[in-house]
Amino acid sequence: MKKTKRTLLTILMMALVVSIFAGCAKNDAAPGGTTTDTATGKDLVLGFAQIGMESGWRGAETDSIKETFAPGSGFELKFSDGQQKQENQIKAIRTFIAQKVDAIGLAPIVESGWETVLQEAKDAGIPVFLLDRGITAGNEDLYTSFIGSDFIAEGENVAKWLINEVGTGKTANIVELEGTVGASAANDRKKGFDDAIKAEPGFKITKSQTAEFTLAKGKEVMESFLKADKTIDVVYAHNDDMALGAIQAIEEAGLKPGTDILVLSIDGVKGAFEAIKEGKLNVTQECNPLLGPQLKQAILDVKAGKALDKWIKSDEDIYFGQKAIDALPDRKY
Ligand code: GZL
């Protein structure tokens, strides 16, 4: 009897040892097994159709996209530089569709002309996210969300600063450097500013011309304005790069920017804060280019089945005087 019990105990002990090792073996398999991998285990693919490299702001936005969607981020980034041409952006979107990317990001250089290609993306079941500029109203069904600023408010804020600075009831001869023709950022910054100064009959926009958001064109157009009109009090530029070009033109004309002619702009790039510190720029309305993280979150939310707002709006501030000087060391772009 005793011998039988010993044999049974031995068999039970051996079974226990085997089951422990088998369990370990299973656990050893776990790290490479099905229990920890994501559903597909592969990166999401984002195709991003960028406008180009026309301004310091655009460069900061591109850096934000490339940093956010860098290898190891859980995304593979296919990045296209449109070189300031809408047709290049449209070609890039068609390539992304053919590559069956998981999401498309687009910074539309102008508002119009996107219906056909965005319908193709929709038909292919690829969500489109607009970044930093919008498209013609009425096409909201062709994109998931617009992630960007309120350009009308930006223009209004600059106009309100000017009215406060010059004084209500006074006069001001204003020239305007517009952004890219047809761009929502240019259209709406013009609308916001122009509408806000209507409250002041003495504030007149005597000249307004595109300088395509670039420093070089901003200088060139401002030179032509100065040659034609010796009574300019204010220049309103739709972005800092054009304002910095205008500052160069004003100085080369023997005048003091920021004093003889007030210089107002939008974006909030570091060069603008430095120009305020030098007394050559009077105000810059911030426009956030660091939109990569918001785009990544929006894509992940859509993939998780969450509903998104049609407009994911950036919160921004206006900087001038000592406030700008104090903020300069902490600026990120
Ligand atoms: C604004 C963006 C504009 C910037 C310019 O969201 O579209 O384009 O203000 C840039 O600097 O060129």
State the pTM of this model: 0.87
Domain span at residue 142?
Answer: 44-148+289-314
Residues 5-52 have pLDDT tens digits of: 566 666 656 655 544 444 433 333 333 333 322 456 789 999 999 999
pLDDT score of 41: 72
Residue 319 has pLDDT above 90, yes or no: yes
Residue 320 is assigned to a structural domain of this protein: no
- My answer on whether 69 and 181 are in the same domain is no
Query: Which of 86, 188, 217, 239 gets mutated to test ligand 1 (max ligand atoms within 8 A of its CB)?
Result: 239
142-180 pLDDT per residue, tens: 999 999 999 999 999 999 999 999 999 999 999 999 999
CB-ligand 1 contact for 58 (6 Å cutoff): yes
Distance, CA of 314 to CA of 267 (rounded, Å): 12
**Other Cβ atoms closer than 10 A to 313:** 14
Indicate the number of domains in the chain.
2
Distance CA 71, CA 298 (A): 19
Q: What CATH number is associated with residue 208?
A: 3.40.50.2300
The answer on 155 and 70 residing in a single domain is no
Determine, yes or no, domain membership for 5.
no
Q: What pLDDT shows up at residue 23? A: 40
Ligand 1 nearest-atom number relative to CA 238 = 9
Distance CA 103, CA 240 (A): 31
- Closest C-alpha residue for ligand 1 atom 11: 57
48 shares its domain with 160: no
**Average pLDDT over the chain, rounded to whole?**
91
* pLDDT tens digits, 58-83: 999 999 999 999 999 999 999 999 99
Based on the fold, state whether residues 121 and 61 are members of the same structural domain: yes
Both 219 and 104 in one domain: the answer is no
**What is the reported pLDDT for 315?**
84
Would 13 be classed as within a structural domain?
no
CA 57 to chain centre: 8
Distances (CA, A) of 37 to 30, 33, 40, 160, 211: 10, 7, 8, 55, 52
Residue in 83, 215, 287 to alter for ligand 1 test, most ligand atoms within 8 A of Cβ: 287
Do both 156 and 279 map to the same domain?
yes
The predicted model gives 103-130 an average pLDDT of: 98
> Do 273 and 162 share a domain, yes or no?
yes
Residue at 215 is within a domain: yes
Protein residue with its CA nearest to atom 6 in ligand 1: 132
